[in-house]
Amino acid sequence: MTTDGADPRPDALADPPRHLTAGLAWSAQAEIAESPRWDEQRGELLWVDTMRGIVSAWDPHTGGSRSVALGQPVGSVVLTRSGIILAAVRDGFGRVDRTHGLRLIRAVEQDQPDMRMNDGACDPQGRFWAGTMELGAAPGRGSLYRLRHDLVIDRMLDGVSCSNGIGWSPDGRRMYYIDTPLRRIDVFRFDGVAGTLSERTTWVSIEPSAGAPDGLTVDDEGGVWVALWGGGAVRRYAPDGRLDMVVETGTPIVTSCTFGGDALDVLFITTGSVGDGAGDGVGGSILQVVPGVRGRPANRFAGI
């Protein structure tokens, strides 16, 4: 299953993964809910409805929510250290006004109207990483970009098909990355000072019957949680690459996950109501489970 730090025991002797079931947190009625992000300062969950171009915030204590339309597809959101929301949208990187919408900061691939930005996250030093994909996920058309503190953009990877989940190990020395059609989680050696990648290897491969890997998050023990589009589940892989836990969602289109709540002990899971997830009453909702491990506060952008 893995090529980096794999459990040496035969499968017959390996501990079976623990199975959990997620419950409903919020009936978001999204088309494709994505990029969940816990804002510990406000005590609310941010998320996007990708192709509808909507950023939403939900307060689990009051049940209240609010949304803002950006006028174009949005792949992901991050928070800045000053509390501002930034987004990776179709046209590039932008700033989100919680009332009035989007102000584009830096354009990305605007000369290619069939491309859009997708998933993204901030590294521990506060740079915003996000990738692109062709609207039909044509192979090799996308790239992975890095928005620096001074708002300069660097292209960090080429030949990407569907740039998706990004996360860092607790010590900041490894970056996990998903290009969905490859059906695997890759790991890079990460230089936090320079913000550079090296030594890419396959960390975990996902069997086709399990669905396609989408968004991911890393918990405070170094476990990697990956959402499985078409697989109806979120999996946790232990730091050594062993399949450790499986969260069943009751709907096939599972897009991403993050830890939140006052103690960062709730795993929030985003889902979609498209394709096989349409009409099942669960797809498009925000789900939750308390898995017995905690997350870490989301890295925030340091430049604004």
Question: How would you class 256 by CB atoms within 10 Å of its CB: exposed for 0-12, middle for 13-18, buried for 19 or more?
Answer: buried
Given a cut of 70, whether residue 29 has pLDDT beyond it is: yes
Query: What percent of the chain has a predicted confidence (pLDDT) above 70?
Result: 95
Query: Rounded mean pLDDT of 247-260?
Result: 98
- Report the pLDDT value the prediction gives residue 8, as an integer from 0 to 100: 41
| C-alpha to C-alpha distance for 223 and 245, rounded to whole angstroms | 10
pLDDT classification of 304: cutoffs 50, 70, 90: confident
Read off the pLDDT band of 2 (50, 70, 90).
Answer: very low
> Is residue 133's pLDDT more than 60?
yes
30/274 Cα distance (integer angstroms): 9
Q: Is the pLDDT of residue 110 over 70?
A: yes
**Which residues, in sequence order, are CB contacts of 109 under 8 Å at separation 6+?**
92, 115, 132, 143
Q: How far apart are CA 41 and CA 64, in angstroms?
A: 16
**Which pLDDT score, from 0 to 100, does residue 3 have?**
40
- The pLDDT-based confidence of 15 (bands split at 50, 70, 90) is confident
Say if residues 254 and 271 touch (Cβ distance below 8 Å). Answer: yes
Which of 97-111, 242-256, 257-271 has the least mean pLDDT?
A: 97-111
Give the pLDDT confidence of 77-107 residue by residue, as tens digits. Answer: 999 999 999 999 999 999 999 888 999 999 9
Is 214 tagged catalytic? yes
Flag whether pLDDT at 10 surpasses 50.
Answer: no
Of residues 119, 179, 214, 219, which has the active-site annotation? 214
Tell whether the model's pLDDT for residue 11 goes beyond 50: no
Cβ–Cβ < 8 Å for 165, 129: no
Question: How many angstroms separate the CA atoms of 141 and 153, rounded?
Answer: 18
Task: Please count the other Cβ atoms lying within 10 Å of the Cβ belonging to residue 250.
Answer: 18
Confidence category of residue 12, pLDDT binned at 50, 70, 90: very low
Distances from the Cα of 8 to the Cα of 16, 147, 169, angstroms = 15, 39, 22
16-289 has CATH 3.40.720.10 classification: no
Average predicted confidence (pLDDT) for the chain: 95
Does residue 19 contact residue 246 with C-beta atoms inside 8 Å? yes
Kindly report the number of other CB atoms within 10 A of residue 90's CB atom: 25
Output the DSSP codes for the chain: --SSS---S-GGGSPPPEEEE-EEEE----SBEEEEEEETTTTEEEEEETTTTEEEEE-TTT--EEEEE-SS-EEEEEEBTTS-EEEEETTEEEEEETTTEEEEEEE-STT-TTEEEEEEEE-TTS-EEEEEEETT--TT-EEEEEE-TTS-EEEEEEEESBEEEEEE-TTSSEEEEEEGGG-EEEEEEEETTTTEEEEEEEEEE--GGG-EEEEEEE-TTS-EEEEEETTTEEEEE-TTS-EEEEEE-SSSBEEEEEEESTTS-EEEEEEB-SGGGTTSSSTTSEEEE--S----PPP-BS--
Give the confidence band of 182 by pLDDT, cuts at 50, 70, 90: very high
pLDDT digits (tens, 9 = 90+) for 138-164: 999 999 999 999 999 999 999 999 999
Residues 151, 105 contacting (CB under 8 angstroms)? yes
φ, ψ of residue 246 in degrees (nearest 5): -130, 125
Residue 188 has which token pair? Answer: 């890079």
